[in-house]
Amino acid sequence: MLPLFVAIPLGVGFLLPLIEEFRDRTRLFSLFVLLETGGLLALSLIKFGDKGIYRMGGWAPPFGINFVQDGLSSLILVVISGIAFVTTLFAITYMKEYENLGKFYGLFSLMLAGMYGVALTGDIFNMYVYLEVAAISSYALVGFNRGAEEIEASFKYLIMGAVGSVFILLGIALLYGSVGSLNIADISVKVSELPDDSFIVLSTALFIVGFGLKAAFIPFHSWLPDAHSSAPTPISAMLSGVLIKVLGIYALARLLFNGLNLPGIAPSILTWIGAGSMFIGGMLALGQKDLKRLLAYSSISQMGYITLAVGMGGILIGQGKPGIATLALMGGIFHLVNHATYKSLLFLFSGSVEKIFGSRDLSEIGGLNSVSPVSGAVGTIGTLSISGVPPFNGFWSKLVIVIAAIWGKLYPLAGIILFTSAITLAYYLKVQRQLFMGKSTGNVSESVKTSAGLYIPLLILAICCIGLGLLYLPEIRGIVLKPAALALQEGSEYTKLVLGL
């Protein structure tokens, strides 16, 4: 069943633009893609927890191309499918006034196909191919409105993304020249047998820069604020909710842990890149007036939590502390799931705010609680979740990461996490004060204010922000998060699954 995750959205992506001439039926595109994403979500949930390998054409790895499902890829499939389904549900109402919806949903499906491919592939070159399918689709979607600002943001994103792709491709070339294989599991075996790891270290550095550009780590972040603020709101939710994670930190972690066996000081570099992204992204978000730009800088900061936790897990593995390393990796993966949920909620919420007031400028709008109590409620849940206020989901994942840092005696990292959480709370309190409180300002759209099509997706995500805190419970954590963490930590198990060793 694994090839269906790529085949279905790939087929839909090429089909929809071909039938776009039926302009009086463009709403059917939305419903078609909603069924597609809903079916993929159902398939993800049915397959969740499975382990297995699919061999293309029956060719066994390392010679053949293969898809691999383990605890981590299973969770990533659910996250991609869930956010895509809710985003499509929102887009049915939000995008109905746009033209060229066949092309929009076609590109959306191609982006999904690329992300699913990155999550499943066991081959490093095919990971690059799928990464480019998703990235090129996202470049076009960022500029979908075709205004001057959108085209500029899309072009900047394209240039920065292309530079990142060059670094990744060069890293793949050096790695292939060193070990003579492109299969991630086979690379792991051959890397451990190399007498000289200089080319491996160089490849690792190239991968950190290349995937860092895709994930918008500091200092590779300059494309993200413009891209997120210029893209149509459903695409902003997808970019921040899943794309930068799958093409960035997931792909990099999979290569470092399961392919390159955590070379040299790579985990430490990753940890401090994460710490810098947390702090600098948060400070940049403090000064923003545009709601979507504030959320974009916040994404840089939140990605820092995930990156720091993953790097910290690598450090603790090297120190011979496997139990604490598992906790750190679980914290990072937990925060990945949480951030996908509440940041998608907040970006979709920003779209509803823009529809209601006709503006995203926090200095020009206000009184949302009195204008639209439903928007005010879901927005409050989203801001409290991302700020790490208990009992919402963001608090629990941050708590796990802090506990892992303290137990691992990495006290400076625990301090940075706590300080950054205070910064996050500060700029979302600013949003609460300026947007939610006070008297109503701006031209309020009464029709949008009561639109169920905009609010049902927000309510679904808000409920998830409350319910996902249950992942902190040991019983549930052991079923959902621990297998994902062990998929990274126990690289030999990945090798056994793929190569049958």
Q: Tens digit of pLDDT for each residue in 218-237? A: 888 889 999 988 899 999 99
Answer whether 16's CB lies under 8 Å from 105's CB: yes
DSSP characters over 362-422: TTT-B-HHHH-HHHHHHHHHHHHHHHT-TTSHHHHHHHHHHHHHHHTT-HHHHHHHHHHHH
pLDDT at residue number 22 = 60
pLDDT at residue number 370 = 82
Block means of pLDDT (10 residues each) for the chain, 501 residues, are 91 83 66 90 90 88 89 95 94 83 90 95 94 94 88 93 95 92 92 84 94 91 89 93 94 93 88 94 90 93 95 93 94 96 94 85 84 88 92 93 95 94 91 80 60 86 94 91 93 87 65
Q: Tens digit of pLDDT for each residue in 128-144? A: 999 999 999 999 999 98
Distance CA 92, CA 454 (A): 9
Structure tokens at 16: 């929809």
pLDDT at residue number 385 = 94
Answer whether 216's CB lies under 8 Å from 223's CB: yes
Distance CA 273, CA 23 (A): 48
Domain-wise residue ranges, the chain:
4-499
Closest listed residue to residue 139, CA positions, set 162, 165, 158: 158
Strand ranges (DSSP E) for 16-170?
52-55, 66-69
**Amino acid identity, residue 29?**
F
Answer whether 87's CB lies under 8 Å from 237's CB: yes
pLDDT at residue number 234 = 93
pLDDT at residue number 25 = 62
Distance CA 185, CA 78 (A): 23
Span between the terminal Cα atoms of the chain, in Å: 24
Query: 295-328 b/e with 16+ CB inside 10 Å = b?
Result: bbbbbbbbbbbbbbbbbbbbbbbeeebeebbbbb
Radius of gyration of the chain (CA): 21
Distance CA 351, CA 448 (A): 11
pLDDT at residue number 359 = 83
Q: Tens digit of pLDDT for each residue in 272-286? A: 999 999 999 999 999
Answer whether 263's CB lies under 8 Å from 187's CB: no
Give, as one character, the DSSP assignment of residue 56.
G
